[in-house]
Amino acid sequence: MSAAPSLITTTVDDAPAIEARGVTVRFGGLVALSDVNVSVPPATIVGLVGPNGAGKTTLFGVMSGLLRPNQGDVYLGGTRVTRSTPTKRARMGLARTFQQLELFMGLTVREHLVLAHRVRNSRARLWSDLVTLGALHRTKQSERERVDHLLELLDLVGVANTPAGALPLGTSRRVEVGRALANGPSIVLLDEPSSGLDAAETARLGTALRTIVEQERVAMLLVEHDVAMVLGLSSRVHVLDFGEKIAEGTPDEVRKDRAVRAAYLGDDAAVEGTST
- pLDDT of 68-127, one tens digit each? 999 999 999 999 999 999 999 999 999 999 888 889 899 999 999 998 888 765 555 544
pLDDT of residue 151: 95
pLDDT of residue 100: 84
Report the 10 Å Cβ neighbour count for 195: 16
Q: How far is CA 230 from CA 14, 100, 235, 268, in A?
A: 25, 19, 9, 15
CA 247/CA 37 separation, integer angstroms: 11
String of DSSP letters for 112-177: HHHHHHHHHH-GGGHHHHHH-GGGGG---HHHHHHHHHHHHHTT-GGGTTSBGGGS-HHHHHHHHH
pLDDT of residue 11: 43
pLDDT of residue 212: 92
| Phi then psi dihedrals of residue 223, to 5 deg | -100, 125
**180 CB-contact burial (10 Å; exposed 0-12 / middle 13-18 / buried 19+):** buried
Mean pLDDT, consecutive 10-residue segments, the chain of 276 residues?
A: 36 81 96 98 96 93 97 97 96 91 91 85 52 56 89 94 94 93 93 90 92 94 92 96 95 92 60 43
In the chain, what are the domain boundaries? 104-170
CA 24/CA 191 separation, integer angstroms: 20
pLDDT of residue 4: 37
Q: Whole-model pTM?
A: 0.84
pLDDT of residue 262: 84
